[in-house]
Amino acid sequence: MSFRTWVSVITLILLGLVVYFGRQEIAQAWGLLDHVNIWILALLVPVQLISYYANGGMIFSYLRSKGNLKTTTHWQMTRMALELNFVNHILPSGGAVGFSYLGWVLGRHGVSASRATMAQIVRFVATFVTFILMLTVAITILIFDHSINRMILGLCAAMVVGVIVATAAIIYMVSNHRRLISFSGWVTRLINGFVAKLTRGKKIETLKLQSVEKLFTEIHQDYLEILDEKKIIILPLVWAIFENMLNVVLIWIAFWSLGCFVSPATLIVAFGVSSIAGVVSSVPGGAGAYETVMIAFLASSGVPVNTATAGTLLARVILLAGTILFGYFFYQLTINKYGKATKSTNL
């Protein structure tokens, strides 16, 4: 079979797994539709599209500031962001596959691998930093309202520390060229060794050390340019704030459609905790882990269990459906357009 056929078949299998693992949530959400205001619930569609636009804005505002993608339209930006979210949802990889996929797509638009990688690092850092700021404000509000218990406060503190450590580790790595070169050697040996074992010695050199060192050297150069011209990251930070707010608004709309008002501060904390649970889950799309943590947190915050369950399932299933239906369509168009790849093409 051709490259495009293999990718299509694998994608359909993974989609089937997402639906399979989320079948109970889908069935429950379907049963809740008789109890919601459909017109309010329908707001999820345009808000979700705007959130994808904001997601892409972080990446493309950086790339445009570096002289790339000058002719890329706003629609193309939204579409690529939707495809990225689709890939991240069908594979339990913590975003690693989506990272690689978007780099592959951007390469077809003349963006170098190092520049695409740096753009996505900027997106991750901007998202984490702005969300931590929002989370800090939300926790402060909940503490004064006496709406948060010690266990949840401890989880939030651990999450804040974890994000800060991860962000600091990234900056620590890319800020020093010597460390990056050492890291490139370690990555090359690790991947080559893994593939060699997987192929029983048939493929010994998957990555070439020289190419990996060149990639990380260019990433380091981009980092130095950011330090020299710090205003480059202003727009990505603004887009990150906007996207994080929209992610919370999407959940809020689901509860609103049920006639229930949940404090935005509570939803910010619930979204953060459940998102981390979904990322580390081994199930495609984080099905099950995300919903369980979200419902448990909302219930512990005073939201009735049946309401917490209904609102969470509605938001989760409808947003996943939108991501999968639209994302798969555009993803498949991209595979069909660029799928005649060489053997060196990696997703």
Q: Please report which confidence band the pLDDT of residue 33 belongs to, taking 50, 70 and 90 as the band edges.
A: low
Q: Rounded to whole angstroms, how far apart are CA atoms 3 and 168?
A: 38
Which pLDDT value is given to residue 246?
92
Q: Rounded to whole angstroms, how far apart are CA atoms 36 and 32?
A: 7
Q: Tokens in use for 163?
A: 């994000």
Q: Rounded to whole angstroms, how far apart are CA atoms 303 and 244?
A: 22
Which pLDDT value is given to residue 29?
55
Q: Please report which confidence band the pLDDT of residue 12 belongs to, taking 50, 70 and 90 as the band edges.
A: low
Report the percent of the chain where pLDDT is more than 90: 3
Digit-coded pLDDT (tens) for 307-320: 777 888 788 878 87
pTM beyond 0.85, yes or no = no
Higher pLDDT, 159 or 257: 257
Neighbours of 313 (CB within 10 A): 24
Look at residues 93, 141, 143, 148 and name the one whose alpha carbon lies nearest to residue 273: 148
Please answer whether residues 93 and 286 qualify as being in contact, where contact means their C-beta atoms are separated by less than 8 angstroms.
no
Q: Rounded to whole angstroms, how far apart are CA atoms 135 and 266?
A: 10
Q: With the C-alpha atoms ordered 24, 30, 34, 39, is the resulting torsion angle positive or negative?
A: positive
Q: Please report which confidence band the pLDDT of residue 73 belongs to, taking 50, 70 and 90 as the band edges.
A: confident
Q: With the C-alpha atoms ordered 324, 129, 78, 38, is the resulting torsion angle positive or negative?
A: positive
Q: Please report which confidence band the pLDDT of residue 238 belongs to, taking 50, 70 and 90 as the band edges.
A: very high
Please answer whether residues 330 and 81 qualify as being in contact, where contact means their C-beta atoms are separated by less than 8 angstroms.
no
Write the CA distances from 84 to 102, 178, 247, 324, integer angstroms.
6, 31, 16, 11
Q: Rounded to whole angstroms, how far apart are CA atoms 262 and 298?
A: 9
Q: Rounded to whole angstroms, how far apart are CA atoms 343 and 326?
A: 28
Digit-coded pLDDT (tens) for 102-149: 778 888 778 888 888 888 888 888 888 888 888 888 888 877 766 666
